[in-house]
Amino acid sequence: MSKRIIECVPNFSEGRDREIISQITEAITSAADVSLLDVDPGEATNRTVVTFAGSPEDVVQAAFAGVKRAAQLIDMRNHKGAHPRMGATDVLPLIPVSGVTLEECAALARDLAKRIADELNIPVYCYEAAAFTPERKNLAVCREGEYEGLSKRFATSDGAPDFGARAFDDSVARTGATAVGARDFLIAVNFNLNTTSTRRANAIAFDVREKGRPLREGNPIVGKIVKDENGEPVMRPGTLKGTKAIGWFIDEYGIAQVSMNITDIATTPLHIAFDEVCRKADARGVRVTGTEIVGLVPKRAIIEAGKYFLKKQHRSTGISEEEIIRIAVKSMGLDELKPFKAEEKIIEYMLEKQNTSRLIDMTCRGFAYETASESAAPGGGSISAYMGALGAALGTMVANLSSHKAGWDERWEEFSIVAEQGQQLMSKLLALVDEDTEAFNRIMAVFAMPKNTEAEKAQRSAALQSATLYATQVPLKTMKVSLKVFDIVRAMAENGNPNSVSDAGVGALAARSAVLGAQLNVKINAAGLKDRDTAEALIAEAAKIAEQAEKLEREVLDIVNSKIG
């Protein structure tokens, strides 16, 4: 169940005054529920790069607050720095991390750009995926002439901003203009080489980077560069689209590296870049000994890499995230120079660290004692979801054991697919463990609402109905997901490793208990709904699912018992 997460990396034109920087980041974190991941001020550039992440709605609200505060604190008429810039908030990209597409981020960026222009009176250019014209996809085009060139650009139709177009007045003179855009996640990565030669590292970089190298006459290294009719060098493209790369020597490590920015991870995933650099290095007598990721990385990049290497080994990919990540780390040597700590390098894990109260992060003992405590939550709904997760886990276990069974090597992919499906169901049900408790907490929160006036009573009553409906829908969702567990355990009872058929049977028992347990929660919560048509519809749907679960459980157990004898 992928959370909707985006990242925002605004660049503010202040890198020296720590008080101003602090006030801007305070505005960002106070405006919405976002996690501040990094604040990187630069003295020479007089520029601070801030990184924060959260839900799309929260990130957009926080970004707006940051732009507003920067406009109040930074006067561009006094700004000097080494980095190109045109506004107090110079650039503001929205970046999809999980559960959100680049196209959705582009739409959010355009809406945010319009709001900044309308409410803050700041001219805004839209760039990269949010651009309205092909030319403005390039940030350099939007920022041409920098702050000092805005007055001249605003006077032309070609140079006018996308939102907030007007004459260059005192307000713009103070804030400058802002570029708001959407781009895919950029992975900064260095590939370690068993050489100290910068020239060889550069050669490998030129082999792979999208731009490639200049085409030369005769000798490819020292021959005369071929130029086109405009006098520009003719380039021979490299093998990896969406990448930029150079070679360098790092004194700290005593090795040369290919330093790469992967700007399009959908076209060139991290693991493909790694394999291609290895291939080109090998052709030049050089070996890639490891990989260094600079900054943060989205979880999908590491998970995709781990699955890629597992498939190359003809091994099941339906294993835990932790194991998949471990395979990725070892396959690409992510821990060669220093330990790769997933909780500090993967964005989603950094966000999860902020939430330390999740039930599913408890130990088995802790969860049991928490359930047994005098608190009403976690209760039957959460336990039902957890039983469903255990049922999915057992089916997944049988699939993984089957994929490694001696003599069944040719069937590894068949079982890997089932194991992946089981992992997905298990993840959804584990999320429902906490969601069911959250549903209960919402109802409890309503009882704390004031009820002194008729208006307050009406608002409280409406909130209670909304929370009760949600508390009814969550266990129904648990029933639906748990019902799908039978597809996994039945397939494994019929076709999986016969030595583990009893585990598939226990998985069926757990799935049936999950469905029937969640049904009880649907019934008791639906009783509190005033809209009886909705309540009866939910109860009837739950009854049908429960009937199916009992039928499927009997079928699976018949298969299991026939094989056990």
Per-residue pLDDT of 415-455, as tens digits, reads 999 999 999 999 999 999 999 999 988 999 998 899 989 99
Could you tell me if 405 and 526 lie in one domain? yes
The predicted structure's pLDDT at residue 377: 76
Could you tell me if 333 and 428 lie in one domain? no
Dist. CA 126–CA 139, nearest whole Å: 9
In a domain, 322, yes or no: no
Give me the DSSP letters along 339-375: ---HHHHBHHHHHHHT----GGGS-HHHHHHHHHSSS
Could you tell me if 515 and 537 lie in one domain? yes
Could you tell me if 454 and 472 lie in one domain? yes
Could you tell me if 59 and 198 lie in one domain? no
Mean pLDDT per block of 10 residues along the chain (565 residues) reads: 85 95 96 91 89 95 97 96 92 94 97 98 96 93 94 91 93 96 92 96 96 84 80 89 93 92 93 98 97 90 97 95 96 95 90 71 88 86 96 97 92 95 95 92 90 91 94 96 97 95 97 97 95 96 97 97 89
Dist. CA 420–CA 493, nearest whole Å: 17
Angle at Cα 532 formed by Cα 531 and Cα 536, nearest 5°? 130
Closest CA to 192 of 201, 184, 203: 201
In a domain, 324, yes or no: no
Count Cβ atoms below 10 Å from residue 178 Cβ, excluding itself: 30
In a domain, 316, yes or no: no
Dist. CA 257–CA 540, nearest whole Å: 63
The predicted structure's pLDDT at residue 15: 93
In a domain, 126, yes or no: yes
Could you tell me if 134 and 42 lie in one domain? yes
Range of the structural domain that residue 58 is part of: 5-182
Q: Which two tokens stand for residue 428?
A: 């959804």
Closest CA to 179 of 163, 158, 167: 163
CATH of the domain at 343: 3.30.70.670
Q: Which one of 162, 207, 436, 503 is the catalytic residue?
A: 436
In a domain, 64, yes or no: yes
CA–chain centroid gap for 89, Å, is 25
In Å, the largest CA–CA distance within the chain is 89
> Residue 365: exposed, middle, or buried by beta-carbon count in 10 A (0-12, 13-18, 19+)?
exposed
Please indicate whether residue 83 is annotated as part of the active site: yes
Boundary-marking domain end, from 291, 320, 352: 352
Could you tell me if 292 and 419 lie in one domain? no
Dist. CA 237–CA 47, nearest whole Å: 34
Please indicate whether residue 436 is annotated as part of the active site: yes
| Residues facing 11 on adjacent strands | 49, 91
- DSSP, collapsed to helix, strand or coil, labels residue 117 as helix
Q: Which one of 75, 83, 335, 404 is the catalytic residue?
A: 83
Could you tell me if 389 and 439 lie in one domain? yes
CATH of the domain at 429: 1.20.120.680
Dist. CA 73–CA 82, nearest whole Å: 20
The predicted structure's pLDDT at residue 51: 92
Could you tell me if 334 and 414 lie in one domain? no
Give me the DSSP letters along 99-114: S--HHHHHHHHHHHHH
- DSSP, collapsed to helix, strand or coil, labels residue 262 as strand
In a domain, 125, yes or no: yes
Boundary-marking domain end, from 134, 162, 182: 182
Could you tell me if 541 and 396 lie in one domain? yes
Boundary-marking domain end, from 182, 204, 228: 182
The predicted structure's pLDDT at residue 231: 81
CATH of the domain at 61: 3.30.990.10
Could you tell me if 12 and 123 lie in one domain? yes
Q: What is the DSSP letter of 181?
A: E
In a domain, 140, yes or no: yes
The predicted structure's pLDDT at residue 356: 56
Count Cβ atoms below 10 Å from residue 502 Cβ, excluding itself: 16
Could you tell me if 146 and 288 lie in one domain? no
In a domain, 320, yes or no: no
What's the structural domain count of the chain? 3
pTM score: 0.79
Q: Which two tokens stand for residue 448?
A: 């704390």
pLDDT one-digit tens code per residue, 320-369:
999 999 999 999 999 999 999 999 899 888 887 765 567 888 888 988 98
